[in-house]
């Protein structure tokens, strides 16, 4: 696998999980500029709090990530644990503690076993390699069934590599999403930050397995300038933005595709709303409806569940709306075309990826969102 | 079964369902004062719209209810169907069309077979009887596993009888709640309306199976003055209010107890919030969390899911909150007491009804809500 210049990776088992990898590291040969996007949940992992503090510096040299434990609801003690891990790793790398970023994912509410991680640092560091992306990607997995890696090459030289973990959990573990991007171009933090936020908004912010929000969500983007390519013109920035959106789109798709128990990927599209708030609200309500999601699991052409879900919002969309399953119009001006049920059932049975469209015919705002169905397997996995 | 004076009931099969009862009727010998509470869903059943129109009159003589079809998303045609049914029934009873109230429950988006109902009116009316409450109660069921009836007797004489159907569904039917109360006392509409709204607020508005909202929810209360008892003093109103709350509480409990696939009844209590809005918002977020509900199905002591759900609201509850499973404190000042996991697992395994309490320690507002767990069975039944 081709990877950006100047990054070394590794992933090992340190004993948080029984056998599989649970501790990953990425080291940048240069101090890398770095920007981040974090969960807006009021309760945050202690690891995330330390990471947010360190990222203020604007650059970093190393990233350490553990799976199997979220280090959340662990109070002062959890904060000190996270800080100790950074300090010990910094010492071994002969860098500053604040140059280490970290993330944790796994169960909430249990102390993070500090010593297991610290005692494994030597082993972790002894075999870092630019070709060990897959080891890092598998070390950050929780109940993902496969590692998630995506990349884009830039015409102006340089590349972007992305690694993510998805929303999966085994009882009693908690779903979290982590995503890390690495590029070897030179780009200012302010441009990187703006580009990243725009890309996240149309990719990671458009997927939802269960409308639950993690305490640990962390997305970091490292840019280490190793390639000698500067992203500084409007044209180059546009290309970079397209590439980073592409990487995030691929990863988001992999995450939703690997959603717990999912048997379907559903694209919910809301068209011609009065404003984008309403469009987003409606798309999220449909994507969050357990009744709608259950019907999708059963390939059941039950658009009554879309109507009742949208109606429960009381956002005043009136009676003129249409609903489509794929290209099949099933509701026209608020009236059900029930004779389409057979056709729609076949559409649902025949497709793994399906489109649901609500056309409000009120204005110009559109919104889309990817979600999954809700299966008995999802409940079983999370029970 | 003792029933209030002056009401006649019946329930038959008219062909909307294959074999079981699907058409119910209640006739009041006197014109009964009547008040109602309806769904706030933006999309309403056409039957409900006719009912809302007729109830403006302030009194009614008859109630007709069908199960098996919600008469929703059926447009003008559905409205005319509902009106025709009322007119035909009124003709046979020699009363005005507006003196007939009606309700429908079942699948959304299919035309209500008007003739099946109208052709069955003679049969329905031929055997109405004061002892046929159970026939009426079973005729309004969708996938309820048992009819839901409750009653209270008043010290001042008179009684209140309540009949409800719960949130149950078979693919591709839609959950709806219908509830009808009948009393033989004399009470003004304004007092009845005020008492009913207060009683609903602490009973039916405190249960949630899946936080989905029906297009057909209808609660009607009939008072026909047949007993010669007037509810007109503060003391009598207080007694009446207590009795009506008792009936609704019983019915609400039966509805939640019969929730689709439920293996647990969960009382979510939020204590000492800054205001009641925040308390209610938090209770509803927990009751609506598919991850929390899945963990309850598995008797899994995973309070991380409560923390992340509450945190996702970002209502600023700070770090001082405590969480209890039953009497067991599992989070103290935001820090997880993870050693309690064994005890809590046993508490969940040993109890069908469990209490979850979040104590915010910020103010004086409390709120509670009953919900169920989420089981693979729920998904299967609704798929």
pLDDT in tens, A360-379: 999 999 999 888 898 888 88
Q: With 90 as the cut, is the pLDDT of residue A359 above it?
A: yes
Q: 96-115 in A: which are within 8 Å (CB) of B? A: 107-111
User: Considering B74, B142, B176, B371, which one is annotated as catalytic?
Assistant: B176
Which of A42, A45, A48, A213 is the best substitution to test chain B (most B C-beta atoms within 10 A)? A42
Contacts of B17 (CB under 8 A, 6+ apart): B67, B68
Q: 207-236 in A: which are within 8 Å (CB) of B? A: 210-215
CA–CA separation, B10 and B119 (whole Å): 16
The answer to whether B176 is a known catalytic residue is yes
Collect all residues of chain B within an 8 Å Cβ-Cβ radius of residue A336: 73-74, 108-110
CA–CA separation, B95 and B93 (whole Å): 6
pLDDT at B154: 94
List b or e across A273-292, with b for residues whose CB sees 16 or more CB atoms inside 10 angstroms: bbeeebbbbbbbbbbbbbbb
Question: What token pair was written down for B340?
Answer: 């309690």
Among the partner residues A42, A316, A338, nearest to B109 by beta-carbon distance:
A338
In this prediction, residue B170 has a pLDDT band, given cuts at 50, 70 and 90, of very low
Report the topology of domain B265-381.
Answer: Ubiquitin-like (UB roll) (3.10.20)
Collect all residues of chain B within an 8 Å Cβ-Cβ radius of residue A213: 308-309, 311-312
pLDDT at B172: 35
Q: Is B19 on the interface with A (CB under 8 A)?
A: no
Q: Which comes out higher in pLDDT, residue A319 or B361?
A: B361
Q: Is A376 on the interface with B (CB under 8 A)?
A: yes
Q: Stretch B250-254: mean pLDDT, rounded? A: 88
Q: 40-99 in B: which are within 8 Å (CB) of A? A: 40-44, 70, 72-75
List b or e across A239-269, with b for residues whose CB sees 16 or more CB atoms inside 10 angstroms: bbbebbbbbbbbbbbbbbbbbbbbbbbbbbb
pLDDT at B201: 86
**Minimum Cα–Cα distance from A111: chain B residue:** B338
Question: What token pair was written down for A198?
Answer: 């725009």
pLDDT at A167: 65
Among the partner residues B108, B316, B331, nearest to A308 by beta-carbon distance:
B108
Each domain of chain B, given as residue ranges in start order, spans 7-257, 265-381
pLDDT at A240: 96
Collect all residues of chain A within an 8 Å Cβ-Cβ radius of residue B73: 304, 307, 331, 334-336
CA–CA separation, A329 and A313 (whole Å): 22
Q: Which comes out higher in pLDDT, residue B223 or A174?
A: B223
Which of B49, B72, B109 is the best substitution to test chain A (most A C-beta atoms within 10 A)? B109
Q: Which of B83-92, B174-183, B217-226, B319-328 has the lowest mean pLDDT?
A: B174-183
Percent over 70 (pLDDT), chain B: 97
**Minimum Cα–Cα distance from A169: chain B residue:** B291
Q: Taking the C-alpha atoms of B315, B317, B318 and B323 in order, what is their torsion angle to the nearest 10 degrees?
A: -130
Q: Which of A96-100, B106-110, B249-253, B378-382 has the lowest mean pLDDT?
A: B378-382
pLDDT at B122: 97
**A228-286 pLDDT tens trace:** 899 999 999 999 999 999 999 899 888 888 887 888 999 999 999 999 999 999 998 99
Q: 118-157 in B: which are within 8 Å (CB) of A? A: none
Q: Is B37 on the interface with A (CB under 8 A)?
A: no
Interface contact A378-B294, CB threshold 8 A: yes
Q: Is B289 on the interface with A (CB under 8 A)?
A: yes
Q: How far apart are the first and last CA of chain B?
A: 38
Q: Which comes out higher in pLDDT, residue A318 or B100?
A: B100
Q: Is B285 on the interface with A (CB under 8 A)?
A: no
Q: How far is B166 from chain A (nearest CA, A)?
A: 15
Q: Stretch B188-216: mean pLDDT, rounded? A: 87
Q: With 50 as the cut, is the pLDDT of residue A174 above it?
A: no
Interface contact A41-B375, CB threshold 8 A: no
Among the partner residues B111, B169, B311, nearest to A215 by beta-carbon distance:
B311
Q: With 80 as the cut, is the pLDDT of residue B356 above it?
A: yes
CA distances from B340 to A18, A93, A109, A110, B311 (A): 23, 39, 11, 11, 22
CA–CA separation, B183 and B156 (whole Å): 13
Q: Stretch B135-156: mean pLDDT, rounded? A: 92
For chain B, give the mean pLDDT.
92
Q: Stretch A279-303: mean pLDDT, rounded? A: 91
Q: How far is B199 from chain A (nearest CA, A)?
A: 22
Q: Stretch A348-356: mean pLDDT, rounded? A: 94
Interface contact B383-A303, CB threshold 8 A: no
Q: Stretch B134-149: mean pLDDT, rounded? A: 93
List b or e across A155-165, with b for residues whose CB sees 16 or more CB atoms inside 10 angstroms: eeebbbbbbbb
Q: With 90 as the cut, is the pLDDT of residue B277 above it?
A: yes
Q: With 60 as the cut, is the pLDDT of residue A187 above it?
A: yes
Q: Which comes out higher in pLDDT, residue B258 or B66?
A: B66
pLDDT at B173: 40
pLDDT at A176: 60
Q: How far is A88 from chain B (nearest CA, A)?
A: 25
Burial (CB count <10 Å: 0-12, 13-18, 19+), residue B150: buried
Q: With 80 as the cut, is the pLDDT of residue A159 above it?
A: yes
pLDDT at A144: 87
pLDDT at A170: 36
pLDDT at A290: 86
For residue B176, give the nearest of B156, B204, B157 by alpha carbon. B204
CA–CA separation, B39 and B216 (whole Å): 6
Collect all residues of chain A within an 8 Å Cβ-Cβ radius of residue B377: 376
In this prediction, residue A323 has a pLDDT band, given cuts at 50, 70 and 90, of very high
Which of A260, A336, A377, A380 is the best substitution to test chain B (most B C-beta atoms within 10 A)? A336
CA–CA separation, A304 and B332 (whole Å): 44
Whether domain A7-257 has CATH 3.60.70.12: the reply is: yes
Q: Which comes out higher in pLDDT, residue A371 or B124?
A: B124
pLDDT at A189: 96
pLDDT at A175: 47
**A199-218 pLDDT tens trace:** 998 888 888 777 777 888 89
The answer to whether B120 and B14 have CB atoms below 8 angstroms apart is yes
Contacts of A121 (CB under 8 A, 6+ apart): A88, A89, A92
In this prediction, residue B175 has a pLDDT band, given cuts at 50, 70 and 90, of very low
For chain A, give the mean pLDDT.
92
**Minimum Cα–Cα distance from B210: chain A residue:** A290
Among the partner residues B172, B300, B315, nearest to A302 by beta-carbon distance:
B172
Inter-axis angle of helices A304-311 and A290-297, nearest 10: 170
Interface contact B304-A73, CB threshold 8 A: yes
Interface contact A290-B290, CB threshold 8 A: yes
pLDDT at A169: 43
């Amino acid at each position: 696998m081709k990877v950006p210049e100047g990054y070394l990776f590794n992933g090992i088992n340190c004993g948080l999980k029984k056998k599989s990898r649970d501790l990953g590291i990425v080291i940048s040969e240069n101090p890398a500029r770095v920007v981040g996007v974090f969960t807006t949940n009021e309760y945050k992992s202690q690891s995330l709090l330390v990471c947010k503090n360190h990222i203020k510096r604007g650059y970093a040299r190393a990233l350490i990530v553990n799976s199997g434990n979220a280090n959340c609801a662990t109070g002062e003690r959890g904060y000190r644990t996270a800080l100790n891990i950074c300090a010990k790793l910094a010492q071994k790398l002969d860098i500053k503690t604040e140059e280490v970023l970290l993330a944790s994912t796994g169960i909430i509410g249990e102390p993070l076993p500090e010593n297991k991680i610290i005692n494994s640092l030597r082993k972790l560091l002894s075999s870092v390699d630019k070709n060990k992306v897959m080891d890092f990607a598998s070390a950050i997995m929780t109940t993902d069934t496969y590692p998630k890696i995506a990349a884009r090459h830039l015409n102006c030289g340089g590349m972007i590599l992305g690694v993510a973990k998805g929303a999966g959990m085994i009882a009693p573990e908690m779903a979290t999403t982590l995503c890390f991007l690495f590029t070897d171009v030179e780009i200012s933090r302010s441009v990187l930050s703006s580009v990243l936020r725009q890309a996240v908004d149309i990719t990671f912010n458009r997927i939802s397995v269960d409308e639950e929000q993690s305490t640990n969500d962390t997305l970091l983007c490292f840019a280490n300038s190793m390639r000698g390519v500067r992203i500084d013109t409007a044209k180059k920035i546009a290309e970079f933005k397209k590439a980073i959106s592409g990487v995030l789109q691929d990863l988001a798709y992999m995450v939703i595709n690997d959603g717990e128990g999912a048997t379907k990927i559903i694209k919910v599209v809301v068209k011609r709303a009065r404003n984008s708030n309403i469009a987003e609200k409606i798309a999220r309500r449909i994507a969050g409806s357990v009744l709608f999601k259950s019907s999708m699991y059963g390939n059941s052409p039950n658009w009554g569940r879309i109507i009742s879900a949208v109606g429960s919002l009381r956002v005043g969309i009136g009676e003129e709306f249409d609903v489509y399953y794929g290209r099949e119009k099933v509701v026209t001006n608020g009236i059900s075309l029930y004779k389409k049920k057979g056709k729609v059932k076949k559409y649902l049975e025949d497709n793994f990826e399906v489109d649901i469209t609500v056309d409000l015919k009120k204005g110009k705002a559109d919104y889309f969102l990817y979600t999954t169905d809700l299966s008995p397997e999802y409940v079983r996995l999370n029970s």
